[in-house]
Amino acid sequence: MVGSAILRRLQASGFKELITRSHADLDLCDAAAVDTFFAQEKPEVVVLAAARVGGILANHSYPADFIQDNLGIQTSVIGAALKHGIQRLLFLGSSCIYPRDCPQPMQEAHLLTGPLEPTNRPYAVAKIAGIEQCWAINRQHGTRYLAAMPTNLYGPGDNYDLNGSHVVPALIRKCHEAREAGADRIVVWGSGTPRREFLYCDDLADACVHLLGLEEARMAPLFNDEMPPLINIGCGSDQSISELAHSVARAVGFRGAIELDPSKPDGTPRKLMDVSRLASLGWTASTPMDRGLALAYKDFTARFYSK
């Protein structure tokens, strides 16, 4: 979802020399294959959006895969970037790098100031390792490797598998299927009280391209020995999962009841990004949630229900 959104955004800006590989064509955990790819293609700038990602249940079910695959992808790609002389790299992580009970909104300075949320600790530790790798390489080699941490994302290309997905695609699918089947209720996991901040994936892509296009003088303050080269990407506001369920039901046209299943985990109580660092660099989100949900729902029906 994220890689495709960044590609769409770069193509819309007229970039022509875009080098991509599908998962089937290049296994990013295979360091030798990644090294050969860099040697052959000689990229100038690297955007690392690839990762093993998933919602709260996927993180819980496959903790070994989440840490192994993400560390594997990061070390091979970031290591090859360094070896092949890449000066600028953008590494994408996640807001779950911050402590479970982080003060809200979460600032970049809150990294490694407290214990992590247990439901996604292996994933978060891998992403923190990626941030440290970027910072260490910058310090030792004078590169500009930036780690951008998006909030919870949704939009075209999302994963709608109910066992693997994040909450937005899960609720879109549940509401759609309930409406089609004439069911009178959907079930939402957890207490409904956790709060999340959601960003439309094309807004994230726009933020990434904005960051990649910043001139040296504006970028320079992000790179120093005192703090990691870290920047939050979000929209700056959050909502409860119950509120989200009602918004999704509206977007999909499902009018039945919304039931909670408290036997399912809540995860982090609240994740709201402090986006002032990004705003000071000239970027703010532009897609309101109701429009983003309508676009995501359109993509869902086009992919899975078009005749």
Among residues 98, 123, 160, 297, the one annotated as catalytic is: 123
Residue 10, by phi and psi: left (phi above 0), alpha (psi -120 to 50) or beta?
alpha
HEC-encoded secondary structure of 131-145: HHHHHHHHHHHCCEE
Does the protein bind ligand GFB through residue 123 (CB under 6 A)? yes
- Give the nearest distance from C-beta 267 to ligand GFB in angstroms: 3
Binder among 89, 188, 272, 275 for ligand GFB (CB under 6 A): 188
Contact status: 143 vs ligand GFB (CB under 6 A): no
DSSP bridge pairs for 229:
none
Q: Choose which of 52, 100, 144, 166 interacts with ligand GFB (CB under 6 A).
A: 166
Cα separation, 1 vs 4, whole angstroms: 5
Q: Is 55 in the site for ligand GFB (CB under 6 A)?
A: yes
- Residue of 75, 94, 107, 232 interacting with ligand GFB (CB under 6 A): 94
Burial of 290 (0-12, 13-18, 19+ CB in 10 A): exposed
The full 3-state SS of 102-113, as one line of letters, equals: CCCCECHHHCCC
Q: How far is the CB of 284 from ligand GFB (least distance, A)?
A: 20
Indicate the residue whose CB is closest to ligand GFB. 55
Part of the chain binding ligand GFB (CB under 6 A), chosen from 34-42, 164-172, 176-184, 291-299: 164-172
Any contact of residue 152 with ligand GFB (CB under 6 A)? yes
User: Comparing C-alpha atoms, which of 279, 281, 141, 278 is closest to residue 217?
Assistant: 281
Residue of 189, 254, 283, 297 interacting with ligand GFB (CB under 6 A): 189
Residue 15: strand, helix, or coil: coil
Task: Give the C-alpha separation, 269 to 118, whole Å.
Answer: 12
Cα-flanking dihedrals φ and ψ of residue 68, to 5°?
-65, -50
160 in catalytic set: no
Q: Which one of the spans 6-14, 136-144, 166-174, 220-228 is the region binding ligand GFB (CB under 6 A)?
A: 166-174
Tokens of 294: 């309508």
Binding site for ligand GFB (CB under 6 A): 55-57, 59, 94, 96, 119-120, 123, 152, 165-167, 170, 188-190, 194, 196, 241, 264-268
